[in-house]
């Protein structure tokens, strides 16, 4: 997620361009590109990556960054979090910005740095199986879809693959439906979406993993979802994801043809009809948090909303990255939701389940109060329709973990943590009283206070 961008938004566009139609050129099985090839990191080659120091005047900092053609990777860390640790990529002036105390240089070549530390997506042709290494590396869109189809085909009828609609560019938006015996409308129902933002690759991988593991769980215990429905959309932004894998690794939005050709698209997680355009987004088409010309203007938003509205929801989970959070409605306001106690109960149960997986304690709390204000988001839209709207912000941590381009070593543990949290949310939806009382909330890290 990200927030505010109504000022200095030209920054968000400088490096958002790539080479149209750029494609990865590699030998079979190779993990790196040849020096002459173009890939999703090419727009950032020979450009400095910096982290901002804390600032007391965000606009003054933005003005300095604009001077050197810098691109802010996550705008809210500047406007709502006082610049602290926000990452920027700059065409020039890195040494001067560091000298002035504005930022610290991470590397002089962001493209090479991310290419080496995170890597690109690769095709995968092996089948399902315990020896499979699908989650050892980033997978391209078709490989993810093939893996999803294979899992459903192997489910023995426990899962059903459906096309919920098409993206703007005509790609199928799939859902996997798990419907327990005895489920009827009005019973416990969970809807989950992944990879709403193109660059958040780790979330799409976690979505495919969740489909696989749910199939396995239902094979072991066919009664687990009795009276309950779970609907997963492992890839909610196929166009944006594909663009991020081929042309611009940091592309966030969908691929809507807006007036800013350098940074096309609308931020789908600011486009929903819940306090739309009332905070934490921008009307500037070049902003990474451009909310669109109107609420629900984007076809992807409409498809997701259609899935939500098929039947009453108990829980809705939207999976994002990064910073290791379990956050809930409201995002549009720092005031408490009238179901605050319920949100804390399910949030802490998810938090504990994630911790039981690999020992990490995610920060838990309401979105606006814990992170930053963001209006027009999916979880508030779901909450308006009776669900408990939850957002999971997966690995890596905020500091030093790779940000939107983490190491591929994070894929499997992040997926395992996510699935543990999903199971906790299902258990809560089926019977809130069966969830043990949660411990006292973990104090928020100092940077959220």
Phi first, then psi: give them for residue 173, nearest 5 degrees.
Answer: -110, 105
Whether 152 and 112 map to the same domain: the answer is: no
pLDDT at 438: 53
Task: Confirm whether 125 is domain-assigned.
Answer: no
Q: Quote the number of domains for the chain.
A: 2
Whether 296 and 392 map to the same domain: the answer is: yes
Only one residue has tokens 């105390």, namely: 101
Task: Confirm whether 139 is domain-assigned.
Answer: yes
Mean pLDDT, all residues of the chain: 90
| 245 pLDDT more than 80 | yes
Mark whether 200 is an active-site residue: no
pLDDT at 19: 35
Whether 51 and 140 map to the same domain: the answer is: no
CA distance 399 to 343: 27
CA distance 330 to 278: 13
Phi first, then psi: give them for residue 222, nearest 5 degrees.
Answer: -60, -20
Q: What is the pLDDT of residues 172-184, one digit of tens each?
A: 999 999 999 999 9
58 versus 304: which is more confidently predicted? 304
| 11 pLDDT more than 60 | no
Whether 138 and 113 map to the same domain: the answer is: no
Whether 215 and 247 map to the same domain: the answer is: yes
User: What CATH code is carried by the domain that includes residue 249?
Assistant: 3.40.630.10
Whether 42 and 175 map to the same domain: the answer is: no
Q: What is the pLDDT of residues 190-200, one digit of tens each?
A: 999 999 999 99
pLDDT at 125: 84
Whether 82 and 158 map to the same domain: the answer is: no
Q: What is the pLDDT of residues 22-35, one digit of tens each?
A: 333 333 344 444 44
What mean pLDDT is predicted for residues 213-230? 98
348 contact partners, CB below 8 Å, separation of at least 6: 364, 438, 439, 441
Identify the band that residue 80 occupies on the pLDDT scale cut at 50, 70 and 90: confident
pLDDT at 37: 81
With a pLDDT cut of 90, the percent of the chain lying above it is 82
Whether 146 and 209 map to the same domain: the answer is: yes
Whether 305 and 264 map to the same domain: the answer is: yes
| 17 pLDDT more than 80 | no
Whether 295 and 397 map to the same domain: the answer is: yes
Identify the band that residue 106 occupies on the pLDDT scale cut at 50, 70 and 90: very high
pLDDT at 35: 44
Range of the domain at 254: 134-448
pLDDT at 387: 98
pLDDT at 436: 65
Task: Confirm whether 176 is domain-assigned.
Answer: yes
pLDDT at 376: 98
Whether 233 and 358 map to the same domain: the answer is: yes
Among residues 75, 87, 212, 393, the one annotated as catalytic is: 393
pTM of the model: 0.89
What mean pLDDT is predicted for residues 108-134? 89
pLDDT at 439: 55
Single residue among 117, 145, 178 that ends a domain in this structure: 117
Question: How would you classify residue 156: left for phi > 0, otherwise alpha for psi between -120 and 50, otherwise beta?
Answer: left
Task: Confirm whether 433 is domain-assigned.
Answer: yes
User: What CATH code is carried by the domain that includes residue 20?
Assistant: 3.30.70
Whether 336 and 256 map to the same domain: the answer is: yes
| 58 pLDDT more than 80 | yes
- Beta strands 189-194 and 315-321 are parallel
Alpha helix positions (H), 100-178: 110-117, 141-153
Task: Confirm whether 123 is domain-assigned.
Answer: no
Alpha helix positions (H), 221-314: 238-246, 299-308
Identify the band that residue 324 occupies on the pLDDT scale cut at 50, 70 and 90: very high
Q: What is the pLDDT of residues 387-438, one digit of tens each?
A: 999 999 999 997 766 899 999 999 999 999 999 999 999 999 999 987 766 5
Identify the band that residue 9 occupies on the pLDDT scale cut at 50, 70 and 90: very low
pLDDT at 85: 80
Tokens standing for residue 208: 């495919």
What mean pLDDT is predicted for residues 96-123? 96
pLDDT at 444: 59
| 270 pLDDT more than 50 | yes
Task: Confirm whether 240 is domain-assigned.
Answer: yes
Task: Confirm whether 129 is domain-assigned.
Answer: no
Task: Confirm whether 339 is domain-assigned.
Answer: yes
Identify the band that residue 256 occupies on the pLDDT scale cut at 50, 70 and 90: very high
């Amino acid at each position: 997620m990200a927030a505010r961008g109504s000022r200095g938004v030209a920054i968000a566009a400088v490096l958002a361009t790539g080479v149209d139609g750029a494609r990865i050129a590699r030998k079979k099985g190779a993990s790196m590109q040849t020096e002459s090839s173009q890939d999703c990191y090419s727009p950032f080659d020979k450009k400095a990556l910096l982290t901002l120091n804390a600032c007391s005047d965000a606009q003054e900092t933005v003005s300095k960054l604009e001077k050197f053609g810098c691109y802010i990777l996550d705008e809210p860390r500047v406007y709502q979090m006082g610049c602290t640790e926000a990452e920027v990529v700059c065409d020039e002036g890195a040494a001067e910005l560091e000298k002035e105390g504005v930022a610290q240089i991470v590397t002089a070549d962001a493209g090479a740095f991310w290419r080496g530390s995170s890597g690109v997506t690769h095709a995968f042709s092996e089948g399902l199986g315990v020896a499979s290494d699908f989650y050892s590396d980033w997978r391209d869109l078709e490989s993810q879809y093939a893996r999803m189809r294979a899992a459903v085909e192997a489910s023995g009828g426990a899962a059903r693959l459906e096309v919920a609609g098409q993206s703007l560019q005509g790609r199928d938006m799939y859902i996997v439906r798990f419907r327990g015996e005895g489920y009827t409308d009005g019973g416990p129902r969970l809807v989950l979406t992944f990879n709403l933002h193109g660059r958040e690759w780790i979330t799409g991988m976690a979505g495919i993993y969740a489909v696989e593991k749910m199939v396995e769980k239902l094979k072991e215990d066919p009664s687990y979802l009795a009276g309950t429905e779970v609907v997963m959309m492992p890839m909610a932004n196929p166009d944006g994801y594909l663009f991020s894998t081929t042309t611009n690794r940091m592309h966030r939005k969908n691929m809507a043809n807006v007036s800013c050709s350098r940074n096309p698209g609308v931020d789908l997680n600011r486009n929903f009809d819940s306090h739309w355009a009332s905070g934490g987004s921008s009307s500037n088409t070049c902003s990474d948090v451009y909310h669109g010309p109107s609420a629900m203007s984007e076809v992807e938003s409409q498809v997701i909303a259609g899935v939500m509205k098929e039947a009453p929801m108990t829980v809705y989970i939207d999976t994002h990255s990064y910073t290791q959070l379990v956050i809930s409605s409201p995002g549009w306001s720092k005031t408490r939701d009238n179901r605050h106690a319920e949100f804390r109960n399910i949030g802490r149960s998810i938090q504990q389940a994630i911790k039981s997986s690999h020992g990490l304690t995610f920060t838990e709390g309401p979105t606006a109060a814990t992170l930053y204000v963001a209006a027009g988001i999916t979880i508030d839209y779901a909450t308006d329709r009776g669900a408990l709207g939850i957002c999971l912000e997966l690995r890596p941590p905020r500091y030093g973990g790779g940000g939107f381009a983490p190491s591929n070593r994070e894929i499997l543990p992040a997926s395992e943590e996510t699935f543990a949290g999903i199971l906790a949310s299902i258990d809560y939806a089926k019977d809130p009283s069966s969830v043990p009382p949660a411990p006292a909330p973990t104090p928020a890290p100092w940077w959220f206070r």
